[in-house]
Structure 1
Amino acid sequence: MKSLFKEKYNSGNFFLMAGPCAIEGEEIVMQIAERIIAITEKLNIPLVFKGSYRKANRTRLDSFTGIGDEKALKILAKVRDTFGVPVVTDIHAANEAEMAAAYVDVLQIPAFLCRQTDILVAAANTGKYVNVKKGQFLAPESMQFAVDKIQQSGNENVILTDRGTTFGYQDLVVDYRGIPIMKNMQVPVVMDCTHSLQQPNQTSGVTGGNPEMIETIARAAIAVGADGLFIETHPDPKNAKSDGANMLHLDKLQGLLTKMCVIREAIMKL
């Protein structure tokens, strides 16, 4: 993973973390992966395929959480082995790090857990890349402590991802000052273009979203120097089993990324 990811990261373009919110089944995941890979190869965008093997942070008890941990992780591993791309999934407790690391290349720490020392250290100890999402409640400067915990545990492979900041009870905003602030920590910085548009804590118990603004979030992130974009995408968001309200329709991915490549090229010339 280390050489594969570094080779891709050093391509000169931004990199993309993309895939469905949750692993719903092998057939649909492989279909999504094949389409994303065709797009990113055409545009020369390094890809890390994303999928959650289990959704631990749900509003309601009856919400979809997954198809089974090992079954979902094996599907992620099949994507990696079939298409030759790194894969990333999130973990929710320290004792999940070693299990997930056996199947994936990047361990992701959810935003609500970014201060949990035992999870950060356990992820670091696997030797995998660790992608830490900035807490909705944290200033970007505070992410230095997450970086320190991982690096002081002997792992230099850290990525930070912004996913917006809590704004009132049911909305998020993105403070783009956070991208250069976190880049000064000498780690790659990613903008989560879909979760930053969530509208949480709805009275229905189902998180809302504002997907028509995904391109706006992505444009601004590339313009201020984000190293990567994180985009959850699905061929049928309305019927997705998790986070459908803020996912990008897969049919729109190529057009969006094409525009982002133009912006990136212009920024690199400045």
Structure 2
Amino acid sequence: MIKFIAGPCVIESAELLDTVAERLTAINRRLGTRIIFKASFDKANRTSLGSFRGPGIDKGLQMLADVRAKWGLELLTDIHEAWQAEPAGQVVDVLQIPAFLCRQTDLLVAAAKTGKTVNIKKAQFLSGADMRYPYEKALESGASEIWLTERGNSFGYNNLVVDFRNIPDMLAIAPTVVMDCTHSVQRPGAANGTTGGNREFVPAMARAAKAFGANGFFFEVHPDPDRAKSDGPNMLRLDDLEALVAELIR
């Protein structure tokens, strides 16, 4: 079964989580999918000090636990420091390693030791083949399941480009390779102290990744991306998610 991950970039409010979770639950019911709900309790790598980061680990994990209790969805969140792995692992099903941190040995080892699935995002400065080393760190540290995620490579300043050859290269390492269709259209730091993006290319990124063999798809979604507190320019509108998921599973 194709894996789908979707949700807001950061936890903005309980109301936002509820709105997105309700929609994902409905899509799962109608399409027979198992979309994993994603949201970050802390965005530790924002462009500027004044950027919104989220509610923090304690409140954020409780809000994610509330989503599971109400909607029965599987959960994914990212961690930035090794000590966060254990408490986050008590709440979520998948621990995500951010792209900038995918070579951080202590972070990978701590995530693996929780026994949860570990999703390692490929750094913007690494090739797909280079991901064998983060993968091996997590595997040798006892991870039960490891996914690798493509999210583009730095291409000069304030730009990313996706080399879709990375997908089959990573499939030679891990059985599950996810395409991060929304972060791959970012324009890092290109919007006067915030990250810009081109959300109109998200569906094409998904289709191209499927052609190259991706068996997982990651979408950050929001009811009103232009008013989102993080990553709005590259997030998919929540109303556009179901049709794209339906296309990818056909």
TM-score, normalization by structure 2: 0.97
1:194 to 182, 186, 211: 182
The 8 Å contact of residues 146 and 174 in structure 2, kept in 1 or not, is answered as no
> Which residue does 2:247 correspond to in 1?
259
> Which residue does 2:56 correspond to in 1?
68
CA distance in 2, matches of 1:43, 1:151: 33
1:234 to 218, 222, 226: 222
Runs of 4+ in 1 over 6 A off after TM superposition: none
Q: Does the residue aligned with 2:147 lie in a helix, a strand or coil? A: strand
CA distance in 1, matches of 2:232, 2:246: 23
Q: Does the residue aligned with 1:230 lie in a helix, a strand or coil? A: strand
Which letter does structure 2 place at the counterpart of 1:148? Answer: E
Q: Does the residue aligned with 2:9 lie in a helix, a strand or coil? A: coil
Asked whether 1:32 is paired with 2:20, we answer: yes
Deviation at 1:173, TM superposition (A): 0.8
> Which residue does 1:57 correspond to in 2?
45
The 8 Å contact of residues 147 and 174 in structure 2, kept in 1 or not, is answered as no
Q: Which moved more, 1:80-89 or 1:121-130?
A: 80-89
Unaligned runs of 5+ in 2: none
The 8 Å contact of residues 150 and 156 in structure 1, kept in 2 or not, is answered as no
The 8 Å contact of residues 19 and 234 in structure 1, kept in 2 or not, is answered as yes
Deviation at 1:153, TM superposition (A): 0.8
Asked whether 1:77 is paired with 2:65, we answer: yes
> Which residue does 2:31 correspond to in 1?
43
Unaligned runs of 5+ in 1: 1-11, 263-270
Asked whether 1:211 is paired with 2:211, we answer: no
The 8 Å contact of residues 112 and 135 in structure 1, kept in 2 or not, is answered as yes
CA distance in 2, matches of 1:18, 1:239: 18
> Which residue does 1:220 correspond to in 2?
208
Q: Which moved more, 1:252-261 or 1:240-249?
A: 252-261
Deviation at 1:143, TM superposition (A): 0.4
Deviations 1:46-99 (A, max 9, x none): 211100010000111100011232111111112122222210000001111112
Deviation at 1:179, TM superposition (A): 0.8
Deviations 1:226-263 (A, max 9, x none): 1110000000111111111110011111121222222x
CA distance in 2, matches of 1:257, 1:47: 10
RMSD over aligned CA atoms reads 1.1
> Which residue does 1:100 correspond to in 2?
88
CA distance in 2, matches of 1:183, 1:41: 29
The 8 Å contact of residues 3 and 215 in structure 2, kept in 1 or not, is answered as yes
Write out aligned runs for 1:91-170 (5 A).
91-170=79-158
Deviation at 1:40, TM superposition (A): 2.7
CA distance in 2, matches of 1:186, 1:103: 25
Q: Does the residue aligned with 1:38 lie in a helix, a strand or coil? A: helix
Deviation at 1:203, TM superposition (A): 5.7
